[in-house]
Amino acid sequence: MREMSVNLFISGLCLCLLQTSVSGLTFSLGNLTLFNVNFKTPTLLGRSVAVDSNVRIENDVDPNIQEDSNLNTYGLIHKYGYPAENHTVETDDGYILTLHRIARPGAIPVLLVHGLLDSSATWVMMGPNKGLAYLLYDQGYDVWMANVRGNTYSRKHVKYSTHHAKFWDFTFHEMGKHDIPSTIDYILNYTGVSQLHYVGHSQGTMVFWIMASERPEYMEKIILMQALAPVAFLKHCRSPVVNVLAEWHLSVSLILKMIGVHEFLPKNEFISMFNRIICDETTITKEICSNVIFLTTGFDKLQLNETMLPVIVGHSPAGASTKQMQHYGQLNRAGSFRQYDYGWLRNHWRYGTIEPPLYHLENVKAKVALYYGQNDWLAPPEDVEMLNSRLPNVVTKYLVEDEEFNHLDFIWGIDARALLWDRMLENMRFHENSVI
């Protein structure tokens, strides 16, 4: 759910830049000040951070950052000397998905599933020693990275093109019901093993709960499901972006249908150009870019490697359906974890009930580890606790010790390995004795 951050307000940001003076810039949404930045002392939603303060910007990354921002997932893996592979998965409803692999034949497979508006690149874009996929490979695992329908790498269908409205007629429900089961089957058939590890971030956890609800037989194929910033309930979500989607869901839905917009924040040259303008190497624009990111996810300035912002925006947003975004808004308004709401008449026709059916979280029989942060606006502790109370087989629930740890830090945080990933590896090894 994190990746809409940079781009949702991009047009407004550009207009603001045209109106700024040399001394600074302010951008507000209603009564909320999104950021207030000047050249000497940026103010980050009430937190003043001097340019020469202790904000860490790592300089030990690959010098050719621009190249990394343009390489695809396969290219990134290959560039750094890891065994990269592309695989193609066809779902039972006709979508053609790209699956990336850092190949270690004979090892236990791990499936990494990205979040909203993201792609497989999120696990490797920070580079060796900084990306979870590389760490897992170095620790002896066969690493597979999914791409759900509609993102940069999964934009084909046996019948429809992306120009057809029918192609975009999906939410995360179809991902959990079709994409993830098809991906798991492909990996297990290809490797000849019976189980795999599953690691999901944000929406990547949501689609797992849906798979369990709709196709519970897949729980037997999971060694351990590790949920980073787990999302199901959005009742206590503090992200202004998600809350706006919830508040204006009917208006947004009507407008999008009237103008025929079915894809949300597509990956194209226009979006990429403005991303790079906002997130280039100058201090002022870096501050703007990171503040918009924080607007969606929560603040943790010290864990964001700002040197890598050009790489981040080179790979996000990766595309989603507008229906998918509307579904998030519905969950926020409803306060429950349920299927898409078509309105009472169409609900009755599709579901046989006036209200959308709730997902069956009691079907999540696989072992589950929940990892969450106090400063996560999208998966706040209150909602994670609600999820935990409904899952039948939670073996670990861990609140990251860093009080500022936010939604993005689970995958991009500078100290993610020390704060979280090493613990994940220990949990994986502990539960592997169930694999024959």
Class of domain 62-433: alpha beta
Pinpoint the alpha helices (H) of 341-399: 344-351, 381-390
How many Å separate Cα 436 from the centre of its chain? Answer: 32
Structure tokens at 167: 């192609």
- Alpha-carbon span 230 to 383, nearest angstrom: 9
pLDDT tens for the chain, 436 residues long, are 444 443 433 333 332 333 333 334 343 444 433 333 333 333 333 333 333 334 444 444 446 888 998 899 999 999 999 999 999 999 999 999 999 999 999 999 999 999 988 999 999 999 998 999 999 999 999 999 999 999 999 999 999 999 999 999 999 999 999 999 999 999 999 999 999 999 999 999 999 999 999 999 999 999 999 999 999 999 999 877 677 766 766 566 656 555 446 787 665 555 555 555 656 555 555 566 655 556 666 667 788 888 888 888 888 888 889 888 889 889 999 999 999 999 999 999 999 999 999 999 999 999 999 999 999 999 999 999 999 999 999 999 999 999 999 999 999 999 999 999 999 999 999 999 755 4
Task: Give the per-residue pLDDT at 259.
Answer: 47
Tell me the catalytic residues: 202, 376, 407
Q: Angle at the Cα of 313 (from 307 to 316), degrees rounded to 5? A: 140
**H or E element in which residue 401 lies:** none
Domain boundaries, the chain: 62-433
Report field, pTM of the whole predicted structure over 0.85: no
